[in-house]
Amino acid sequence: MGRIVFAGAMSHVLDPDYYERACGAVGRKTVIDIMGEIGRMGERLSARKPDALIVVADDHLNAFSFNCVPAMCVRIGRSVQRMTQDHAEAFDKVLDHMPTEYPLHEALANAILEQGLQSGFDLALSWEAPVDHAFLSPVNTLHGARTIPPLVPIFVNAFVAPQPTARRCFAFGQHIARVVARSPWNVGIIATGGLSHFPELSLPRVGETDTVFDKRLIHWMEIGEHAPLQELTADELHKTGSHEFLNWMVLLGAVTPARAQVRYFGELARINMAAVEWTLA
């Protein structure tokens, strides 16, 4: 019987240069500090020797554009490529130094997809979608020079309205937990993004965050109280800049009722940086 052996969630632009440009010296220091914590989380992940690592993250209009934006999509196949961007700017530049190709855990991805469709989750699938910083910045920071286990990238549409509901994301996470339990594999799962930044996806509001809202989310995760999180509305997530918390909702469904331990929380003018790990039975 398989089991989830590690669960963590973290912000996903992990680049000291980016945050120094955006927030000055305090930005650099904050991201270096959180990257240190995520590195230590990665040591615990690697120590549990996962057969696969599920990565729940969002696309930033890189893999999916205007031909199709799936609510939830399982990346299947044998390998996944890093998104490429000529003359990359901002968060895209984070990818520049990273390996270009990563192995996938084909059997687990297929199981999540096939059993999902049988269970009423109308998941999209992709053989070709590349992954951007939302996937690869945390994965590489967690592992450093160590070998990265085969990945199962899962895309959640966090930005293009209408997005899936928090409740649906949580239910999908519960589905993932059932698939893992029926499998022979030990699996790690991470969710990425957030916390509060870019409220209402408005350029004039870049630089604002909602720390009160973030502290509320963290409190519920720490006490393992997941019901109110499932009640979060698209409007609340949009207004507070918490769009990417949908990724975290998938992870919460997979590990519920486990309690979270905050490894790092740091406020920047641009974003609240967080790294959280769950205590699993």
Partner 1 sequence: MSRYAVNSLLYRLKKDEAFRARFLEDANAALAGADLTEAERAAFVAHDMRKLNELGGYLHLVMSIPGLARH
Interface residues with partner 1 (CB under 8 A)?
22, 60-61, 65-66, 85-92, 159-160, 198, 201-204, 206
Task: Determine the 3-state secondary structure of 103 from DSSP.
Answer: strand
Q: How far is the CB of 203 from partner 1 (least distance, A)?
A: 4
Q: How far is the CB of 18 from partner 1 (least distance, A)?
A: 9
Cβ closer to partner 1: 60 or 226?
A: 60
Query: 123 near 175, Cβ under 8 Å?
Result: no
Overall size of the chain counted in residues: 281
Q: How far is the CB of 165 from partner 1 (least distance, A)?
A: 21
Measured distance CA(226)–CA(258) in Å, rounded: 9
Measured distance CA(230)–CA(179) in Å, rounded: 21
End-to-end CA distance of the chain: 15
Q: Which helix (H) or strand (E) holds 264?
A: strand 259-267
Measured distance CA(40)–CA(26) in Å, rounded: 21
Q: How far is the CB of 21 from partner 1 (least distance, A)?
A: 8
Q: How far is the CB of 60 from partner 1 (least distance, A)?
A: 4
Site of tokens 């809202």: 213
265: tokens are 């929380």
Query: 41 near 190, Cβ under 8 Å?
Result: no
Cβ closer to partner 1: 13 or 123?
A: 13
Cβ closer to partner 1: 23 or 169?
A: 23
Cβ closer to partner 1: 162 or 204?
A: 204
